[in-house]
Amino acid sequence: MPIILKSDDEIAIMRQAGSIVAQTLQKLVEAVEPGVVEKDLDKLVRKEFERHKVVPTFLGYHGYPATVCISINEEIVHGIPGDRVIEDGDVVSIDLGCTYKGFVADSAVTIICGNGQPQAQELVDVTRGSLEAGIGQARAGNRLGAISHAIQDYVESRGYGVVREYVGHGVGRQMHEEPQVPNFGPADRGPVLKKGMVLALEPMVTAGDWHTLQLEDHWTVVTADGSLSAHFEHTIAITDGDPQVLTVP
């Protein structure tokens, strides 16, 4: 599959999808407090997406059973919201996507519930910073590897690990399009970025080793060493100038 370039009109639709994802993520973040059950966050998404008349992209994707991924502490990504109660100090990653007029927007944030350990806060800050570093390289004329390299350098120079087995991706009419966007690797690799490319950049960062395991539920991805993990994601469009972040309110 080639990389599918988007027109300005298509990017405008994705921007609307992105706004709904970002507004809903904000509501989820506000809802997280000690005692909240993961499933309640899934209910909140269903209600909000119904109100906005958008489709929950994750629900049914390869059989995924929920509208949102909630990944806590050593869970990296793809945690299924269930009966787990969120506790004070938990590192909570929330990943959300919607489809609007046939186009997908995909975004994730990590927050600490209540009072977190300073080490957890640093992990979250480094992960957010690495996404910003990647976005800073998302410019026409750069190679895709410039994004990957900037993220890896940002993370590893601060003593953290960057996950290899899961990567970012192109996004459009499908949630996952070409190209894959690794969060590691040399800067001079990959396709040259062009106006109209839309990418989901999503560094997954670990406080310890970056190796992962998948749980028995066939979805939840955890750190092999049990260390904490954080995840941030934005859907961005390559332009003639600065990258346009589509998943903002």
Residue 191: closest CA among 235, 147, 153? 147
Residues 66-125 that bind ligand MF3 (CB under 6 A): 69, 78, 95, 106, 108
Judged by CB under 5 A, does residue 10 bind Co ion? no
**Binding segment toward ligand MF3, per CB under 6 A, in 14-22, 55-63, 111-119, 148-156:** 55-63
Residues 102-121 that bind Co ion (CB under 5 A): 106
Contacts with ligand MF3, 181-200, as mask; x by CB under 6 A: -------------------x
DSSP conformation class of 46: H
Counting residues that bind Co ion (by CB under 5 A) gives 3
Closest contact distance (angstroms) between CB of 174 and ligand MF3 is 11
The answer to whether the beta carbons of residues 204 and 163 sit under 8 Å apart is yes
Closest contact distance (angstroms) between CB of 185 and Co ion is 18
Residues 6+ apart with CB under 8 A from 25: 94, 96, 107, 108, 109, 247
Judged by CB under 6 A, does residue 10 bind ligand MF3? no
Residues 140-169 that bind ligand MF3 (CB under 6 A): 169
The answer to whether the beta carbons of residues 34 and 119 sit under 8 Å apart is no
Closest contact distance (angstroms) between CB of 61 and ligand MF3 is 4
Residue 36 or 232: which CB sits closer to Co ion?
Answer: 232
Residue 74 or 106: which CB sits closer to ligand MF3?
Answer: 106
Q: 29: helix, coil or strand?
A: helix
Tokens 């706004």 -> residue: 19
Per-position DSSP letters for 70-121, written without gaps between them: EEETTEEE-PPP-SPBP-TT-EEEEEEEEEETTEEEEEEEEEE-SS--HHHH
Residue 38 or 106: which CB sits closer to Co ion?
Answer: 106
C-alpha 2: how far from chain center: 23
Residue 25 or 36: which CB sits closer to Co ion?
Answer: 25
The CA-based angle 153-70-154, given to 5 degrees, is 5
The residues of the shown chain that bind ligand MF3, judged by CB under 6 A, are: 58, 61-62, 64, 69, 78, 95, 106, 108, 169, 200, 233
The residues of the shown chain that bind Co ion, judged by CB under 5 A, are: 106, 200, 202
